[in-house]
Chains A and B, each alone.
Chain A
Amino acid sequence: GENVEQHPSTLSVQEGDSAVIKCTYSDSASNYFPWYKQELGKRPQLIIDIRSNVGEKKDQRIAVTLNKTAKHFSLHITETQPEDSAVYFCAANPGRRALTFGSGTRLQVQP
């Protein structure tokens, strides 16, 4: 089955710095790669996604890059703010069906 590896498991940055979270996947049939943000006590919410026919996508301070050859994709958050503190999950859709999630990255932005 699909295996989605996510690193790092925890990340602490100073406010205003950038944060990068990386994921790798194993199933070359995967064609959809979303990122979710989960705040404490709340449901995971989609923040950005990318499809396999695109190499990069940006939405304000958030960007995602995809390298299909290497089977890895990354989330980049610039100018981090305290409200960016949360757990972030990457995901892929092996066999183009249900999402398989990474193990999560706890991001803490220090004011």
Chain B
Amino acid sequence: ETGVTQTPRHLVMGMTNKKSLKCEQHLGHNAMYWYKQSAKKPLELMFVYSLEERVENNSVPSRFSPECPNSSHLFLHLHTLQPEDSALYLCASSQEGGEGYTFGSGTRLTVV
């Protein structure tokens, strides 16, 4: 276990569903991230939280909504997704400046 846990590991959802991805880190890091990994864009940054405050949103559609209630937990709320949103969603945490970046195992999302 690397210290970053993601659930669920696999998720299949319809385009009208609402679901949430969860990430938890036990490394004492103060920054957390969501990345999307697909064949088209291998590791695409979606959201950055530093000290529980969102500091970056890389023009992600509003159907993806992040939540960071504290420095150890990060959520990604999903609603009315499209089939092209099917991908591996990876959570990561680090110290400020990106050092010590550690990834979770990811959630394989399929939108049908």
Measured CB to CB, the residues of A under 8 A from B are 31-32, 34, 42-46, 49, 87, 89, 91, 93, 96-104
Q: In the complex, what distance in Å separates the CA atom of A85 from the CA atom of B43?
A: 19
Q: Are B98 and A43 in contact (CB under 8 A)?
A: no
Contact of B97 among A44, A93, A100 (CB under 8 A): A93
**Smallest Cβ-Cβ distance to B104: which chain A residue:** A43
* Chain A proximity of B64: nearest CB distance (Å): 16
Q: Are B42 and A98 in contact (CB under 8 A)?
A: no
**Is the CB of B90 closer than 8 A to any CB of chain A?**
yes
* Chain A proximity of B106: nearest CB distance (Å): 6
6 pairs across A/B with beta carbons < 8 Å?
A32-B97, A43-B105, A93-B97, A93-B98, A97-B55, A99-B98
Q: In the complex, what distance in Å separates the CA atom of A93 from the CA atom of B45?
A: 12
Q: Are A96 and B103 in contact (CB under 8 A)?
A: no
Q: In the complex, what distance in Å separates the CA atom of A18 from the CA atom of B99?
A: 27
Q: Are B98 and A96 in contact (CB under 8 A)?
A: yes
Q: In the complex, what distance in Å separates the CA atom of A43 from the CA atom of B106?
A: 7
A104 touching B42 in the complex, CB below 8 Å, given contacts A43-B106, A98-B33, A98-B56: yes
Q: Are A98 and B45 in contact (CB under 8 A)?
A: yes
**Is the CB of B2 closer than 8 A to any CB of chain A?**
yes
Contact of B43 among A31, A49, A97, A101 (CB under 8 A): A101
Contact of B98 among A32, A45, A89 (CB under 8 A): A32
User: B105 to chain A: which residues have CB within 8 Å?
Assistant: 42-43
**Beta-carbon contacts of B48-74 to A below 8 Å, as 1s and 0s?**
101000011000000000000000000
**Smallest Cβ-Cβ distance to B105: which chain A residue:** A43
* Chain A proximity of B89: nearest CB distance (Å): 12
User: A91 to chain B: which residues have CB within 8 Å?
Assistant: 98, 101
Q: In the complex, what distance in Å separates the CA atom of A32 from the CA atom of B42?
A: 20
